[in-house]
Amino acid sequence: MLKCSEVVEQASDFVDENLPWYSSLRIKMHLLMCVHCRRFLRHFSATIDLAEPAGRRQATATEIERVMKHIDDIDSDI
């Protein structure tokens, strides 16, 4: 049987259905017996579902300039 830490390590691939069938089966068997991992995967999936609509966006030139200036300011203080 898998350890909880192994389930956590494979959680992303499991949720995305990117695991071989036998690895998914091992996780499903573990989930039948482990309430903690069931709860973890439920929360993990919910987090992904909430974050997905936000998507990824490209930083604007202004945002990049502001961050770079901040880094330069920090470097000059050191």
pLDDT digits over 8-60, tens only? 999 999 999 999 999 999 999 999 999 999 999 999 999 988 887 777 778 88
Give how far Cα 48 sits from Cα of 9, 12, 78, Å: 16, 9, 39
| Euclidean distance between CA atoms 28 and 34, whole angstroms | 10
Cα 20 from Cα 28, distance rounded (Å) = 12
Q: Among all chains, which residue has been given the structure tokens 């330069």?
A: 72
User: Looking at residue 43, what is its pLDDT?
Assistant: 97
Task: Report which of 21, 30, 26, 24 is spatially closest to residue 12, judged by C-alpha positions.
Answer: 24
Q: Quick check: helix, strand or coil at residue 17?
A: coil
